[in-house]
Amino acid sequence: MILSAYPSPPILAQETIAKLLVDKGLAKINVEPRKTITTDVVSVTEEYANKEAYDNKRSKSIKTSRKTITGRPKLGYLNVDELYQAFATRFDFLIENNDSTGVINDVQCALIKFTPKPNLTSKTVTDAFINHTAGKVYINLDNFEIIRIEGGINNHFVTTWRAWWSPIAFDVDVYEFSFSIDYTIFNNVVIEKNLEGMADYEIRNRGIDRHIYTLSNYRIR
C-alpha cells in the first residue's frame, strides 16, 4: 500500500489519516509488556567545543558506559516516554502529497510529518524541547509498525534548568537539537533499538553534546 498511488484527500482528511496512522503505530509501542522488558544498553556521550568542531568530528571527550535497564531509556534532555505521551496532544500531523513515503532498511513506509501545536506551555526542560520539535514518523503500512521517529529544532529558544540540589535556576539557550529512534520487534512488542541525539546549547558556556544509545540482548524480567 503506497499513499501516493491514491487520489489526495482534502487537507483535513489528510490530517485525520495521519493522526490515525500515528496512533496505530504508538499502540504497538505503548503496551504493558514493554515495562517488563530488560535490555543491555551501550551509551556513548561525545562533547564538542563548538559547531565547527562537531562538523569536523573533533570531540573534546568521549565517554562510553554499559548498563542494564528495565523499561525505556532516556535520551539526554529528551524523555522518550514523555515524547510518546506528547504525540497524543501536542502535535499536528500531516501527510504531504509530494513527500508521503520513505524507505528505512529497505522497507517502504508512510511518512507522517509532525509539528508542535501553537502556544504550548513548558514546565520542564523536556517540555521545552518537545514543544519546539518538528519531525517525521515512518510507518510500515503492511503492519502499522513504527520503523523510525526523527525530529529536531533549528530555531533558537531559551528555557530554564535547575539542579535538584540548587535553589538557583539557570537559563539554557538551545540553538539546535536533533534526534532519531529506530525500532525492532521483540516478543511481539515494538521496542527501541537505536537512539541518537545532538544538542547545541549554552549554560554559561556553549557546547555540543551527542548521545548514542544501542540496545541489545532483550529479555523478559
Exposed, middle or buried by CB within 10 Å (0-12, 13-18, 19+), for 176? middle
| Cβ neighbours of residue 163 closer than 8 Å, sequence gap 6 or more | none
Number of domains in the chain: 1
For residue 144, is it within any domain?
yes
Per-residue pLDDT band for 102 (boundaries 50, 70, 90) equals confident
Strands 74-75 and 61-70: unpaired
Note the pLDDT of residue 80.
87
Overall pTM > 0.85 = yes
- 163-202 tens-digit pLDDT: 767 777 888 899 999 999 999 999 999 999 999 999 999 9
- 85-101 tens-digit pLDDT: 999 899 999 988 877 88
- Quick check: 12 pLDDT over 80? no
Domain of 153: which CATH number? 2.50.20
Is residue 73 classed as helix, strand or coil in its secondary structure? Answer: coil
For residue 152, is it within any domain?
yes
For residue 199, is it within any domain?
yes
Q: Which of 147, 218, 201, 211 is nearest to 179 (CA)?
A: 211
Note the pLDDT of residue 1.
46
Per-residue pLDDT band for 11 (boundaries 50, 70, 90) equals low
| Cβ neighbours of residue 66 closer than 8 Å, sequence gap 6 or more | 40, 41, 42, 43
For residue 1, is it within any domain?
no
How many H helices and E strands in the chain? 4, 13
Q: Mean of the per-residue pLDDT values for the chain?
A: 88
Tell me the average pLDDT across 51-73: 94
Query: What is the domain extent for residue 175?
Result: 6-220
Q: How many Å from the N-terminal Cα to the C-terminal Cα in the chain?
A: 37
Tell me the average pLDDT across 38-46: 96
- 129-145 tens-digit pLDDT: 889 999 999 999 899 99
Which residue is associated with the grid cell 568542531? 53
For residue 128, is it within any domain?
yes
